Structure 1
Amino acid sequence: MQKSFAFFLLFISFFTQAQGFTIKGKITDLENRGIQNASVSLLNETGDYLEYDFTDENGNYSIVFQNPRSSAITIEISCLGYSKISKLITNSSQSQDFTLKNKVEVLQEVVIEISKKVRVEQDTTTIKLASFGNKTEQTLEDILKKIPGIEVLQDGTIKAHGISIDKLLVEGEDMFDKNYKLLSKNLDAKVLDAIQIIDNFEDNPILKKLNNSEKVALNLKLVKGKKNIWFGNITAGSGIISENRWKESLNLGLLRKKIKLFYLADYNNLGEKATDIVATNILENNSFSEDRLEFKAKSLFQINNNEVALFSKTQSVFNNAFLNSLSFATKIKDNLSLRGVVYLAEDRQNQNSFSETRYNLEENPISFTENNFYNNHKTVASTELELKYYPNDKNYITNLFIYKINPNATNSDLFFNLDQINQSSKNNNYTFYNHFNHTLQLSENKILNSYIYFGNDKIKENVNVLSPLLNTFLNVNNSDVIKQGANNNLFYIGDKTKLITKFRNIDVTNSIQFELSKEEFNNSFVIYNNSFSNYENYSNLKQLKLFFDNAIRYNFSKKIDFTAVVSLQHINFESNNVASSIFLVNPTLSFNIRKTGFGNFKLSYSENNTLPEINQLTNNFQLIDYRSFTRGTRYENPLKNTVASFNYSIYLDEKRFSVNTAMSYIKSKSIINTESTITSDFNFSNLKQTGGGDNYNLSFSFVNYVRALKLASKIENIQNWNSSPVNVNAAEFTNSENYSNTIKYSVTSYFKKAINFDGGFSYNYSQSVFENNKTTNRTQDIFLNINYAISKTILAECNNAIYFINQQNYSFNNVILNYNPVESKFSYRLIFNNVLNENQFTLITLNNFTFYRSSVELVPRYLLCAVKYRF
């Protein structure tokens, strides 16, 4: 089968190349010297571009193109400082050499601009990607990780200039909204020409007239020749030794004036999760911009998969992932557009792990082991449609509708110490949200924004647990299955109207918001047709909210401002038929200095008063896993905390220099806390409202590019101190103190040679002190990735990582060979994963009084051969 498949690919490659033509040659000056970076373009008889290329350092070029219907082809050569020339050629012409003449002009004023790798123009920073990649990048996310001013977090979230991006645009068009990870993790890096970082981004054209936005967006500029044609790639990969591995994907794009669309599909069992890259509920409150409020119901039962988040999922996650998505944007009329995203994401995960848990409470601590065989099938299907209507320069209307289906089935066979236990859960989740915004410009300095929103989130859960220990505790037969059913239904509707006014140096927002929410939660607990009322709950929560928000921003200049916001909230809070009338005041103060020669400064202070959620207000115990019960509490007072923070950053993208520092202090004055009773078999938790603790956080990162060495280095440090009251097997709460420190260093080379690398190390230290028991843990890791151009068509990569944990070493080594024939649209990739065949990984984590050690199986060694065809 594999031989037939390989023969088929070779046949297709031969057939495709047989249908194309290659034109190559050399571009020289009058002194017969090769001209570098000259543009060579092929045009058809109507003047449309067919293909293009740039000459290398010796003036050579080579263009492969498909046989056009007409034989009339024009080749056009241009270069800065030389006269443009063009020539009509025939399909049979294989070699075309040209000599360019120097262009001499007399002008009143001459401005010469050299093409820069990084160009800054007002609020837009344009970065040419060719200067930062090394041809090993497969996706947009791969190349973003190497771009100055851009950071890709472990979950795929993208930050630009220290701020999470609001949009990821394609040629100025929003295609994915908050689901931009569908694009960043799948779009082929080879179609990208440049990335633009847009500061002070505002999507609403009416608000943009008055607003001094703090949002940031990224805009993708594609290489020439990708407009008005279908483009994309197909990848087929299969494992050829050890475990059977595979990867198939399809990228398809079309960018035209009236319609733009992307179709992205991927199917693989290499460890990545498809459902992790889709957006969850979004909560955004913006005083001087649009809001977006999406609330989600709470699930009840939890089954742990013991995943290790320390390194790549391709090393430790056993998962079959399927993703199928279609996004489009079309102009129905010049002032009416429609955007849509439809996707289906599915994961089938099988994960085996062994863990040891120890509670450091007494001289003889409580401990137990779990040998867990975990199986999960999760699906997310969604349709998202957004209409944008711009009837005139004073009105802007949008309506966004989202519908999701999220079934989730989980099964866990485990040994708790020596007892065999089974727990399974089937969870059906249905969600829809609708957001309607109308923005009206009343005058030159006044804008009225009306936001109407509603949503419904339903969760239906059925759980079966077979546990001899639990059955003995409940005094039932050991063979009886415990059945727990749970339903959570949340519906809400609201309206928020805000008036934004601008007076010279002052921006003022006055808003009024009305919101009604109803939430019902109930769970049954049945064993052999007998219900246990002590473990059943019938809870309801109804809230009628009226908010008055007032914000004022004084602009000392375009770079310095002071903002004060006061939110007055009146809430009728009815929990389990007990009603309360609550009045809350939440103030926020911030002082900003932006885009100065010394960088950006922000100092802020806020007080936050909130109310408990429905799952914290249950009357009886509820089973949340095979050995844990939790009971809620009654509402007493609002939950309170105070947050003070200071941020400093400077981003000099042209010099590839940046500093980002953040310090924060959180004082929790009133929280929902837990009184725990832990035995060798069970954990019982009672929620209770208590005073809170303190949290200090400090983070620092420094990036610098040394031009003489062509090396960019990054230093990061994250430290956290927190203290909180804890009550475990005691009559009163005792303070627990925790500290963590992470130091990272990385370096990346940008040599114009055959070899480049990136490497670094990380040091992690954690400490927990509770009841005079001090526990510490240290881990270190080192990584080194090397890529070497064996020839113009063959590129080798070697990715290496070593982890030092608990006096044990773990080494991961991957070798990748890339073959990219010059005159072919096919490329080939050979991936040798986990060369040393590490088969198990153990990690220790600390949390208050809990010591937790987990060992997981690792993806065994495999060799994957992948073929990609670009069109």
Structure 2
Amino acid sequence: MNKTFYLITIFLLSYIANAQQIIVSGKVTDTLQNPLAYANILAIPENDNEVVTFAITQENGTYKLGLSKNQTYNVTVSYLGFKQQTVSITTTNQDLFKDFILKENPDQLDEVTLNYTPPITVKKDTITYKLDAFTTGEERKLREALKKLPGVEVDKAGNVIVQGKKVTKVLVENETFFTGDSKLAVNNIPADAVDKVEILDNYNDIAMLKGLQDTEDMAMNIKLKEEKKKFTFGDVEVGAGIKNRYLVHPNLFYYSPKTNVNFIGDLNNQGIKSFSFRDYLEFEGGFSKLMNDAGSYFSLFNSDFAQYLNNQDYTANTNQFGALNIRQSINNVTDISGYVITSKSKTETQSETLNEYVNVQNSFFEERTVNNNLNNFFTIAKLTLDYDPSFNEDFAYNSFVKLTNNDSNGFITTINPNQNNSISTLTDVVGINLKQNVNYSRKLSKDHTLTLEATYNFQNDKPFTEWLTNRQILQGLIPLVNDTFYNIFQTKKSNSHSFNAIIKDYWVLNNFNHLYTSVGLNTAFNSFFNEDLQKLSNGNTNNFSTNGFGNDFGYNFVDTFMGLEYKFQIGIATFKPMLYYHFYNWNTKQFQDTFSNSKALLLPQFTTKIEFNNSEKINFKYALNARFPSIERLSNNFILSSFNSVFKGDTTLENQLYHTVSLSYYKFSLFKNLNLNVNTSFNKKVKHFKNVTQLDGINQFNTQILFNEPEYNWSVNGGISKKINKIRYNIRSRFNYNDFYQILNNNTQLNISKSVSSTFSAETFFKNYPNIEAGFTKDFNNYRSIGNITNFENNQFFVKLEYDFLKDFIFKADYSFDNYKNKNNGIANTFDTANASLFYQKEDTPWGFEINATNLFNVTFKQQNSFNSFLISDNKTFILPRIIMFKIAYKL
């Protein structure tokens, strides 16, 4: 593996050293030698295998173009109000200098509006491409046209990257295109329907808030030709394979300026999910919007539906899925949109884990096997009303509902020095979630803008769990009665009503100074009930409540806050110090016992942005954060957590307090085809929840305390990407350091974990030859505890191939080789995976045919490691076997 990596590295470096590119530079002026800033320079190669290149002149009129050697280009220089100039340039092995002098248009009059539209127009936050200037008319879908635009890249999944920055939202005629996901737009919109493409940096859905709310979003707005403002597209795919594999997948769309309809269906038993967690995020408003509310994001990420979408490792899976998304414009100022998602699946999973229990008096190993049969059912629906009567006013209402009904049948076996046991588990979860949200924004005057956001949320979950075994479990922790068979039942009921509201005033003092004030309220009224009991074989019941088990707990929480933010600009730097004053009041009730408390906290924040230009930025963020415990952490009676764990909460717990700091640097150079980004973050926990664990064999008793010893986390990640001619070279690295305390069996110890990951890859961009991406990834994990050091390593080599040949065929394949080592336990595994497909479709027919194979080498499992304060785990997760399918597709 190392030899292979070195050979690839030497080859790529030698290619860089011999890169076939020269520089054309010069100056653009008028006839009086005045420099013309922001003039467009477009170099179109006569050779179809070369790429179109463009540049924008600087303030002093200078420009630089990077062109291939020994090629002929038609170079066009344009500037509004001046005659366009086109010259032919043939490059050699030497750099060229070429000045341009533009003449004023003699036909220009003040009363005449010029109809000339330059191929590229650049304003502060907007780049506009005139598509016809870059395309030949042979492009079928928008992605093929976008690939020909200078500074624009489209990856294999359909994500769009402009000048090194990812597009997060897609609009058509200034309206969100379905969910705003770029993949849906670029893979389906006909290329001949598009007139212009606008790239909007620092995009905000509400126009009046642009420049007030901080955003790093980038949007792509598609402008359609007048005669192409209605179209239907999509595809229907049907497949069958060996061992009774099947697939039915309709994906249908209708677009018009007033109506959008999208239906996605899926019926298959080969483990394919047409709806991913990322798609779910897009339906919820997008990743960037959710990350502004970290609590909502993590709640969504940890939900049952999200966990199902994220799970890709199973031994069998049958998937039934349907999603309908509709947007309707009622009039010019009112839109109604909504979606319904229904999913039903049957899944089988299997894993084998070798657990090493450390930091105990006598370390030992446990072999654990877990098998599960799961039935998941979800229905999610959302309705949105957008009312935008003018630039100065915006109103939006959202209503959301989620219904869940999931059950599973599992079987756990554990082999360890203290016991060998087998446990059957049955779970059933029924839940409902309702959410109402209102957003209102209004420009009160030239200097003042007001926003209001209010949300009401109701959640009700009823999970039920049953454990069955012929041997006692959790001896000494749960009060079992001797029986021939042990049948343990647990019932939970969780109910929550929450209301959040914030009013914010944006006061523009002048162009360089803003003052923002806000007041808000967060409330939550929660109840939690659990009952643990044993059903005896004689029909009687042994209720654990007589031994301190069972909760009937109420928790009310109120947070009122005020915030002050001052945003000011000095040169290229923007600063925003923030100060939030929170007054918290909470009370709990467990049966007849009540507890009340209140406190005030002053939480500062600070952000800085240094913007050298649109393509080079530094961002700095700091915040002091407080987080209060969930209701289960507060419930102070025992609760059975799993077959080997019991938990007890603490009513007196207060809030966590922790510092977060992040610094990021971003640079993109279109001329050098260079993209560089570096990010680092640092977290310090001042007060935080800490598990206190009593460990007896594999049995655990856990409770939590508020811990005052500081813990630190530091991470650095970055990447550099450089494109030379038809090859892009990428290097990405990540480092993470984490120290944390463990409290185990009355001993407190400091543990340290470190991980390093680096990837080096190269990717080709040929038009008439196979395109290959090849790379090598090195992962290293180090875990230190009480003088014991555990090391894990994984080396991965990967190759991806895509080849369009004979006009109508597309061949795709990917291969990866992993070499995994647990150096301390002497565990070493190598495994390789491969997938391949061959697709055929004639250019003028909607019918397509494909044969594909997944898991070509029939690998049976994946392997990974994990660790916590007392447990180091090597995990094997078993996956689907080799699947070979034949598919027929009809594309509208």
Q: Distance in 1 between matches of 2:652 and 2:412?
A: 37
Give the C-alpha shift of residue 543 in structure 1. 1.2
1:470 is matched with which residue? 473
Following superposition of structure 1 onto structure 2, how do residues 103-182 of structure 1 map, counting pairs within 5 Å?
108=107, 121-125=123-127, 167-176=169-178
Moved more, 666-675 or 265-274: 265-274
Residue type at the aligned position of 2:716: L
Residue type at the aligned position of 1:575: T
Equivalent in 542, 547, 559 of residue 530 of structure 1: 542
2:518 is matched with which residue? 511
1:611 is matched with which residue? 628
1:777–1:845 Cα contact (<8 Å) kept: no
The answer to whether residue 793 in structure 2 is matched with residue 778 in structure 1 is yes
Residue type at the aligned position of 1:352: Q
2:199–2:221 Cα contact (<8 Å) kept: no
Q: Distance in 2 between matches of 1:705 and 1:734?
A: 48
Q: Distance in 2 between matches of 1:466 and 1:121?
A: 68
- In angstroms, what is the RMSD of aligned CA positions? 4.2
Give the C-alpha shift of residue 106 in structure 1. 9.2
Equivalent in 702, 707, 718 of residue 685 of structure 1: 702
1:756–1:788 Cα contact (<8 Å) kept: yes
Query: Per the alignment, do residues 285 and 238 of structure 1 end up closer, same or farther by CA in structure 2, a change over 3 Å counting?
Result: closer
Query: Per the alignment, do residues 221 and 234 of structure 1 end up closer, same or farther by CA in structure 2, a change over 3 Å counting?
Result: farther
Listed one character per residue, the Cα deviations across residues 508-547 of structure 1 (whole Å, up to 9, x for unaligned) are 1111112321011111112123321122122221112211
Q: Secondary structure at the match of 2:472?
A: helix
The answer to whether residue 742 in structure 2 is matched with residue 726 in structure 1 is yes
Moved more, 377-386 or 515-524: 377-386
Q: Distance in 1 between matches of 2:159 and 2:629?
A: 28
Query: Per the alignment, do residues 308 and 589 of structure 1 end up closer, same or farther by CA in structure 2, a change over 3 Å counting?
Result: closer
Extract unaligned runs of 5+ from structure 1.
1-32, 38-79, 82-104
1:793 is matched with which residue? 808
1:486 is matched with which residue? 492
Query: Per the alignment, do residues 481 and 226 of structure 1 end up closer, same or farther by CA in structure 2, a change over 3 Å counting?
Result: farther
Residue type at the aligned position of 2:831: Y
Listed one character per residue, the Cα deviations across residues 615-654 of structure 1 (whole Å, up to 9, x for unaligned) are 2112122122221112122335431111222111113457
Query: Per the alignment, do residues 428 and 157 of structure 1 end up closer, same or farther by CA in structure 2, a change over 3 Å counting?
Result: farther
Query: Per the alignment, do residues 736 and 360 of structure 1 end up closer, same or farther by CA in structure 2, a change over 3 Å counting?
Result: same
2:760 is matched with which residue? 745
Query: Per the alignment, do residues 303 and 537 of structure 1 end up closer, same or farther by CA in structure 2, a change over 3 Å counting?
Result: farther
The answer to whether residue 502 in structure 2 is matched with residue 501 in structure 1 is no
Q: Secondary structure at the match of 2:858?
A: coil
Q: Distance in 2 between matches of 1:35 and 1:168?
A: 29
1:299–1:488 Cα contact (<8 Å) kept: no
2:217 is matched with which residue? 216
Give the C-alpha shift of residue 271 in structure 1. 2.5
Equivalent in 658, 665, 681 of residue 682 of structure 2: 665
The answer to whether residue 568 in structure 2 is matched with residue 568 in structure 1 is no
1:512–1:548 Cα contact (<8 Å) kept: yes
1:624 is matched with which residue? 641
2:171–2:222 Cα contact (<8 Å) kept: no
Q: Secondary structure at the match of 2:650?
A: coil
1:471–1:478 Cα contact (<8 Å) kept: no
Equivalent in 823, 839, 843 of residue 860 of structure 2: 839
Q: Secondary structure at the match of 1:754?
A: coil
Relative to the length of structure 2, the TM-score reads 0.76
Higher relative contact order, chain-length normalized (CA < 8 Å, sep 6+): 1
Residue type at the aligned position of 1:487: K
Listed one character per residue, the Cα deviations across residues 373-399 of structure 1 (whole Å, up to 9, x for unaligned) are 112222321221111122344322211
2:188–2:234 Cα contact (<8 Å) kept: no
User: Identical aligned pairs, as a percentage?
Assistant: 17
Q: Secondary structure at the match of 2:444?
A: strand
Residue type at the aligned position of 1:703: S
2:397 is matched with which residue? 399
Q: Secondary structure at the match of 1:753?
A: coil
2:314–2:350 Cα contact (<8 Å) kept: no
The answer to whether residue 363 in structure 2 is matched with residue 365 in structure 1 is yes
2:560–2:582 Cα contact (<8 Å) kept: yes
Q: Secondary structure at the match of 2:207?
A: coil
Moved more, 740-749 or 341-350: 341-350
Query: Per the alignment, do residues 186 and 334 of structure 1 end up closer, same or farther by CA in structure 2, a change over 3 Å counting?
Result: closer
Q: Distance in 1 between matches of 2:378 and 2:803?
A: 40
Extract unaligned runs of 5+ from structure 2.
1-45, 51-84, 87-103, 109-113, 536-540, 822-827
Q: Distance in 1 between matches of 2:362 and 2:139?
A: 54
Give the C-alpha shift of residue 711 in structure 1. 0.7
Give the C-alpha shift of residue 746 in structure 1. 2.0
Q: Distance in 1 between matches of 2:680 and 2:296?
A: 29
Q: Distance in 1 between matches of 2:783 and 2:814?
A: 34
Query: Per the alignment, do residues 486 and 220 of structure 1 end up closer, same or farther by CA in structure 2, a change over 3 Å counting?
Result: farther
Equivalent in 794, 803, 821 of residue 842 of structure 2: 821
Equivalent in 238, 257, 280 of residue 240 of structure 2: 238
Give the C-alpha shift of residue 323 in structure 1. 2.6
1:297–1:457 Cα contact (<8 Å) kept: no
Listed one character per residue, the Cα deviations across residues 487-511 of structure 1 (whole Å, up to 9, x for unaligned) are 1111012332111110111111111
Listed one character per residue, the Cα deviations across residues 208-258 of structure 1 (whole Å, up to 9, x for unaligned) are 4x526424143364997864132221111111x3x4333221122222122
Q: Secondary structure at the match of 2:848?
A: strand
Q: Distance in 1 between matches of 2:47 and 2:218?
A: 40
1:786–1:797 Cα contact (<8 Å) kept: yes
Equivalent in 697, 716, 724 of residue 698 of structure 1: 716
Query: Per the alignment, do residues 758 and 297 of structure 1 end up closer, same or farther by CA in structure 2, a change over 3 Å counting?
Result: closer
Residue type at the aligned position of 2:207: P
Q: Distance in 2 between matches of 1:283 and 1:637?
A: 32
Q: Secondary structure at the match of 1:469?
A: coil
Residue type at the aligned position of 1:486: K
Query: Per the alignment, do residues 486 and 195 of structure 1 end up closer, same or farther by CA in structure 2, a change over 3 Å counting?
Result: farther
